[in-house]
Structure formats: structure tokens, C-alpha cells
Chain A
């Protein structure tokens, strides 16, 4: 379990995150939502130990700072939002690097079969010999997701994993991630921009607004017209369909120019 307790983070004198507290459970997909600049990426970078924060981030009841660098990196995977890459490496090599903490100078059979499995599972094995810099943004994003998954992490943190994918690929990926999370008992925390996707796939939503946690819970509890007004400044309608899924229709911006 990942537990964030009263986390604060500032850039100089500007507060970016104030008293953030929530939990993400194993076997669940927890989705962070919030408007642009609300601090979602900063929060994920705190969990990834890239930002120094005040407060506590507990994983498996231990504060992050008490993990050794190697142990934490062995147990968690982080997907960066940035997809730029000019390295002269094949897709196979890039995914293999996801097992860096376990790689010996000679690559073991376990390492190569893990890479092959994840490439097949994600249906990108046809790219395995291609150079990473030759791929489109969407293909590259799938490769980096495979890299995050190849070591079978206990904690999976992903910043906008669907940002470069077309609609069909987004459904495929989120179906796959949800399935892997349930099957392998991953504690999965990710940010998404598409609210419909978040409503469909999240086991739990955490909404960040004005640098704080605005709401936390199941999509049906959290998605309200008031939340969409407060957080995104949009008028909307929210309804639940016959499959008991939440949907929203954004109607217009409140703060029209």
C-alpha cells in the first residue's frame, strides 16, 4: 500500500502541494486528476524520490527515505511524461533497461524472456528490433510502458501513460493495465487527462485542486457537476449508464474569454 501523509512541496516560496494525504491500495488502479498545473506531476516526482518533500510517503508501512536506493528502484517503476529520446538503442534494449537493478554484465535468460513476454503481452513485439528514435510518439510511449512493467514492480507510478495514444490504443492500454494491476496485485497510481477514461478505469480517484486533495473515492462518488465546476471550471452533466458506469458531458467553460 502507498500512503501519502500531509505531504508539502514548494518551489522556492511558491507552494505547489499542501497537506496532501491519500492512500493507493494494492490490486487497485488509483487515478490522480486535476487541472493543468495542479501539481500532479510534482506529486508523482515526490513519490519517485526526484523531489524533496515535507511530510511522509509510506510504501508497505515504511517511509521512502528508509529504503535503500537499490531496494526502492527494484520494487517501483515510474513512467515519465517526456517521450523524447534520441538514443541509438533498439526497442528490445530499451525495455531490457527496465530491469537495470537486476542486470548483470551478461544478460540472463530470465531477463531476455521477461522482455519478450512483456513485448508480446503489449503486442509490440514486432517493433523489438527497431530503433527507439524511429518510432512514433504513441509507439514510443508503449515501449516505455513495457519498460516500466518488465521488472514486475510492486508499485507502478505513471504520468500520463495515454497522452500520445489514439482512442483505440487508450482503451487497449487501460484494459491491459487494469488487468495487470488486479492480476499481479500492483499498487498502480497514474495521472490521466481524459475524465471519461478515468471514470471508466479508476478503482479510485484522487482529485487535486488548489494544491490540495479536493476529493478522494470511487468515480461514482467523486464525479459530480460541482467537482467539475470547482476543479475544471466547466458546466457539465454527469450520468450513470445501464452498465453502472459514470459518464460526463462537458457543456461549456464557465470562465469564457
Chain B
């Protein structure tokens, strides 16, 4: 193989491995921060030797911190890679599941359950909010899908249909908030800010499984997606069935995003900033771009989660606010430093 191209791809692989190590660091930072007063030594001992740890330490690490930290990585990776593929298939750097109304749909679903009192049901409530959020999120995607289908899935129509969905669901959301009692309104507001607090060992395998399957399919289409960045006609001429890939990828993005936001609420910024950072560092060969977007998303969300615990010790600070507060300056620095 060409030594130049081989060293070029080797460099990309090394950068990706470094990013994975940073992601692991961000994961542990998120895991180790909190108001329990446990030392890092105690944390390590509870993680690697849970049998010898006391019940309280085991509960803090394995029932609270670990699910939140794993969920942070999974949700960040899911939103990052979903944003990357969305931007690729729509040929639009502003596209993301958030800007196209997928998250807004989830918000309406969750709010509807809360307003109708379903969220306070003892066992059912725990599943009802994410389940309806998921269904509304998928409904938003289906609306975009069928509107776009009438116009041959052109990227501009998909983006415009998505923007329409954002406004529609925002109006619906405002109506529900208007109708809600003060206590329900507080719950809705908290949900829409996004939170990793509801992570547990039931929803993690669900999101993990969906992420694994969708990510493998994304990677299997990496070359075709890369070709689509050169424009539809050129990609078609190179052998890509552009309309079919766009439809398939959109459905997969919808399922992945809907699953993620159903469990944690609307965390918007990661789907845009994760792919942008990945693109600046590794370019758009999707074999590297997609995993890097996932890793960047996971890093940002894990750091945001950790910082949110430091900023207001003992309280649960909405993570959606932190992701934007730390993500935007970092993103702008990268943007300004770009040659």
C-alpha cells in the first residue's frame, strides 16, 4: 500500500485511539465526581472489588454513579453519531436530530404523559414517560419521512419538513405547559433540560443494544456515505443508491435518537457540535468521522455531567444547559483556530 496513504490513515487511527482514551478519562471524571464524599481509592476498590465494599458504597457506585456515567457515554455517542450521519445525508452542517424536531417530539410525548398524570403512576410511570416520548419522537420522524417522500427525499425538503416539526411540537409543548399544574410544569421543564439521573441497568442495555446495531449498519455504509458528501449526482454515478441510503439512514437515526432522548430528555447541542469537532480533526472519511463523532459526543456529555455535579454540589443541575455552556466555547475555539 502507498506508504503515504498508509501513514495518513494510521495517523487518523492513532488520533481516534487518543480520543477514546480521553473519553475513558471523561467517563471516570463523571464517575468520580459527586457529593458522596468517597475518595477515588474507595471508588476504585468498589468498582474492581465490589464484594469487599460496604453496602452504601456499592449502592452509590453501582446503582447511581455507574449507570449515570455509562448512560452519559452512550447518549453522547448516540447523539454524536446520529448528528454526523444526519449532516451527511442531508448535506447540511446545521442538521441534527435536535434541529429537525426529533427531540421536540420526545418532549411533547413526555409532557403529555406528565400532564395526564401518567408519570406519577407507581411502576408504569417509570416506563410510560420514555415509551410515549419514544413514540412521539418516532412520530416526528415519520412525519418528516412522509412529507419528504412526496418530494423524492431531497435534502432541502427534509430539512424544511424538520423545521416545520420543530415549530409544531414547540407549540404543542407550550400548550401542554400552559395547561399543566405548577408541580407538573416543574417536572416538564426539568425533563426538557435533559438529565442522566434516570439511568439504570434496565434502560442502559436497551440503548446500548440499539446503538450497537445502528452503529454497525452505519459503518457498513461508510464508503457510500462518504461518496454522498460529493453531492447526489456524483454519488449516484459512483454507484450509490442515494435515495435508498438516505431513507435507511434516516430511519436508523430516528430510532437511535428517539431511544436516547426518551431516557434522558432533550440534550440538543451534542448532535451538532460532536460531528463538527470530529470533522475538524479527522475530516469526512466516514470510517473515521462517524466513530470520532460518537466519541466527541460521549466526551462532551460525560464532562458536562461531571461539571454539573461540581457546579452545584448536592443538587441535580440540568445537563442540557451545561452541554451548551461548555460545548459552545470549545467549539468556537476550534472554529477560530481552523486554518
- Chain A residues in contact with chain B, CB under 8 A? 48-50, 69-70, 73-74, 77-78, 80, 82, 84-85, 87-90, 92-94, 97-98, 100-101, 103, 105, 107-109, 112-113, 115-116, 128-129, 131, 144
Q: Check if A85 sits within 8 Å of B9, measured CB to CB.
A: no
Interface residues of B in 95-109 (CB under 8 A from A): none
Q: Are B237 and A105 interface neighbours, CB within 8 A?
A: no
A131 to B227, CA, bound (A): 15
Q: Mark B58-96, 1 if CB is under 8 A from A, else 0.
A: 000000000000000000000000000000000000000
Task: Determine if A100 and B224 form an interchain contact, defined as CB atoms under 8 angstroms apart.
Answer: yes
Interface of B is mostly: helix
Name the residue on A nearest B234 (C-beta): A80
- The smallest beta-carbon distance between A179 and chain B, in angstroms, is 23
Please list the 5 inter-chain residue pairs (A to B) with the smallest Cβ-Cβ separation, ordered nearest first: A73-B239, A87-B229, A78-B237, A112-B2, A100-B238
- Give the contacts of B274-300 with A (CB-CB under 8 A): 279-280, 283-285, 287
Contact of A107 among B1, B231, B283 (CB under 8 A): B1
CA distance A115 to B2 in the complex (A): 9
B240 CB to closest chain A CB (Å) equals 7
Contacts of B6 in A (CB 8 A): 112
- The answer for the CA separation of A176 and B236 in the assembled complex, in Å, is 26
Q: How many residues of B contact A (CB 8 A)?
A: 31
Checking B220, B230, B279, B287 against A94 with a beta-carbon cut-off of 8 angstroms, the contacting residue is B230
Q: Are A73 and B230 in contact (CB under 8 A)?
A: no
Complex-state Cα separation, A103 to B9, whole angstroms: 15
CB contact between A85 and one of B1, B220, B226, B231 (< 8 Å): that residue: B231
Given A69-B241, A88-B279, A105-B287, A82 and B5 touching (CB < 8 A)? no
> In the complex, are the beta carbons of A98 and B241 less than 8 A apart?
no
What residues of B have a CB within 8 angstroms of the CB of A107 in the complex? 1, 5, 9
Q: Is the CB of B8 within 8 A of A129?
A: yes
Question: Could you tell me the dominant secondary structure of chain A's interface residues?
Answer: mixed
Question: With the chains together, A213 CA to B284 CA distance in Å?
Answer: 43
Q: Of A70, A90, A93, A112, which one neighbours B1 at CB under 8 angstroms?
A: A112
Q: Footprint of A on B, CB under 8 Å?
A: 1-2, 4-6, 8-9, 219-220, 222-224, 226-227, 229-231, 233-234, 236-241, 279-280, 283-285, 287
Contact B2–A116 (Cβ < 8 Å): yes
Task: Give me 16 other A-B pairs in contact (C-beta within 8 A), A49-B236, A88-B284 excluded.
Answer: A50-B233, A50-B236, A70-B239, A73-B238, A74-B239, A80-B237, A89-B230, A89-B284, A92-B8, A93-B285, A97-B223, A98-B238, A101-B239, A105-B223, A108-B1, A113-B2
Give every chain B residue within 8 A of A85 (Cβ-Cβ).
230-231
Bound together, the chains give a CA A105 to CA B291 distance in angstroms of: 14
* 17 A-B pairs with C-beta separation under 8 A: A49-B236, A70-B239, A73-B238, A74-B239, A77-B237, A82-B234, A87-B284, A89-B226, A94-B230, A97-B238, A100-B223, A100-B224, A100-B240, A101-B238, A112-B5, A128-B4, A129-B8
| Beta-carbon contact of B230 and A103 below 8 Å | no
Chain A residues near B227 (CB-CB < 8 A): 97, 100
Closest to B241 in A: A69
| Chain B nearest Cβ from A117, distance in angstroms | 10
B237 and A73 form a contact (CB under 8 A): yes
Residues of A within 8 Å of B222, CB to CB, are 105
Contact assessment for A88 and B233 in the assembled complex, using a CB-CB cutoff below 8 Å: no
Q: Residues of A contacting B9 with CB < 8 Å?
A: 107
Closest chain A residue, CB of each to CB of B282: A88
Most buried by B among A84, A107, A109: A107
What is the CA–CA distance of A78 and B236 in the complex, to the nearest angstrom? 10
Once the chains bind, are B285 and A89 in contact (CB under 8 Å)?
Answer: yes
Asked if B230 contacts A87 (CB within 8 A), the reply is yes
Cα distance, A116 to B219, chains bound together (Å):
26
User: Within the assembled complex, what's the spacing in Å between the Cα atoms of A110 and B40?
Assistant: 52
Nearest B-chain residue to A97, judged by Cβ: B227
A105 to B218, CA, bound (A): 12
User: Shortest distance in angstroms between B203's beta carbon and chain A's nearest beta carbon?
Assistant: 31
CB atoms of A109 and B8 under 8 A apart = no
The chain B residue sitting closest to A103, CB to CB, is: B223
Q: Are B283 and A88 in contact (CB under 8 A)?
A: yes
Q: Are the C-beta atoms of A89 and B283 separated by less than 8 Å? A: yes
Given the complex, which residues of A lie within 8 Å of B1, measured CB to CB? Answer: 107-109, 112-113
Q: How far is the CB of B93 from chain A (nearest CB, A)?
A: 9
Q: Nearest Cβ distance between residue B281 and chain A, in whole angstroms? A: 10
Closest to B226 in A: A97
A115 to B226, CA, bound (A): 17
Query: Residues of B contacting A115 with CB < 8 Å?
Result: 2, 5
Q: Decide if B239 touches A69 in the complex (CB within 8 Å).
A: yes
Q: How far is the CA of A85 from the CA of B4 in the complex (A)?
A: 24
